[in-house]
Amino acid sequence: MKSYWTDAVVLRSRPLGEADRLVSLLSDSEGKIRATARGARRGRSSLVAGTQPFVYARYQLFRGRELDSITQVQLVRSHLAVRDQLLSFALASYVAEVVDWTTMERQPVPGVFRLLLTLLAELDEHPPRSPGRALALESWFELHHLGELGYRPQLDGCVLCHRPLLPSAGRSTDNSGWWLQPAQGGLVCSSCRSQSPSAEPGVLLGDEVILCLRRWQQEAEPDPGAVADPSQPAGRQLAAALRMYVDYYVNHTIRSLPFLAELMGTTAAAGDGGGPRASRA
């Protein structure tokens, strides 16, 4: 069976030679696929529309030794508005890049596929009108994507000494602060943090941010009213904490993050705090 059909989203698309494209697809049944699309940069080819970033379509592919090739495309949803609005485009580019780095070829991740489609549909139908709305969507995606990958941050209390957070207020019993540390898998209390000699990356979070993270972690779809204002300390903490957490697992420079961060008015400094990045080419 050299030829097959699959539903997929375009994660990345770049020119190849004079008239072709090289695309990275996330398929519901096949996981990540790298494929060429012959003639996808010529005006009349049906492949032109089907190889644009963030397009959701049904693809016929021919299995190759290293790369598959796309032979037919039936558009399902072009997500045109996502490419038309700068903030949506920047956020979708970041998300697609994170998905690209954290998925493997031929290893289906249906949960990630659904999550990506949910976010793209939201950006398509309701383009974020403010950096705060975009940051809320980004954070929601990051939390759930980490969960789909098996790295769901533990936010109920300290992962080391098991001291609980008081669920009503989000306050610790000694109120001395909580750090989100990917190397530990979630929140670490100040006292455990101070006893740890390592320089593991972490971000100190206020109660309000922890409560927000816990609420979004429960929501299967992004809250339509959620805003995380990056001009406020809580918004900046949220952005820094989740980008650092994602960066720890992506373990590779995320090229689209600086542009997104600039549009949002946040800093792009995500990781570089001691994760295992250096060990990966």
Instruction: List all residues 6 or more positions away from 258 whose beta carbon is below 8 Å from its beta carbon.
Output: 268
Cα–Cα distance between 168 and 77 in angstroms, integer? 42
Options 135, 165, 192, 260; binder of Zn ion; rule CB under 5 A = 192
Q: Minimum CB separation from Zn ion for residue 147, in Å?
A: 22
Tell me which residue of 274, 276, 254, 267 sits closest to 201, measured CA to CA: 274
Among positions 11, 189, 260, 261, the unique one binding Zn ion when judged by CB under 5 A: 189
Q: Please, which residue, 8 or 188, has the CB nearer to Zn ion?
A: 188
* C-alpha to C-alpha distance for 79 and 36, rounded to whole angstroms: 21
CB of 171 to Zn ion, least distance (A): 14
Stretch that binds Zn ion, among 49-57, 109-117, 191-199, 202-210 (CB under 5 A): 191-199
Q: Cα–chain-centroid distance for residue 5?
A: 26
3/176 with CB nearer Zn ion: 176
List, in order, residues 6 or more apart from 267 with CB less than 8 Å away. Answer: 236, 240, 261
User: Which window, 26-34, 123-131, 174-182, 190-198, contacts Zn ion (CB under 5 A)?
Assistant: 190-198
Contact between 56 and 48 (Cβ < 8 Å) = no
**Which positions from 149 through 188 interact with Zn ion, judged by CB under 5 A?**
158, 160-161
10 Å CB burial of residue 81 (0-12, 13-18, 19+) is middle
Question: Closest distance between Zn ion and the C-beta of residue 213, in Å?
Answer: 18
CB of 22 to Zn ion, least distance (A): 48
Comparison of 35 and 180: residue with beta carbon closer to Zn ion: 180
- Binding mask of the shown chain, residues 249 to 268, with x at each position contacting Zn ion by CB under 5 A: --------------------
Task: Quote the least distance from Cβ 160 to Zn ion, whole Å.
Answer: 5
In the bound state with Zn ion, the residue whose beta carbon lies nearer, of 143 and 189, is 189
User: Do residues 206 and 178 lie in contact, with contact meaning Cβ atoms separated by under 8 Å?
Assistant: no
The answer to whether 94 and 260 are in contact (CB under 8 A) is yes
Which positions touch Zn ion (CB under 5 A)? 158, 160-161, 189, 192
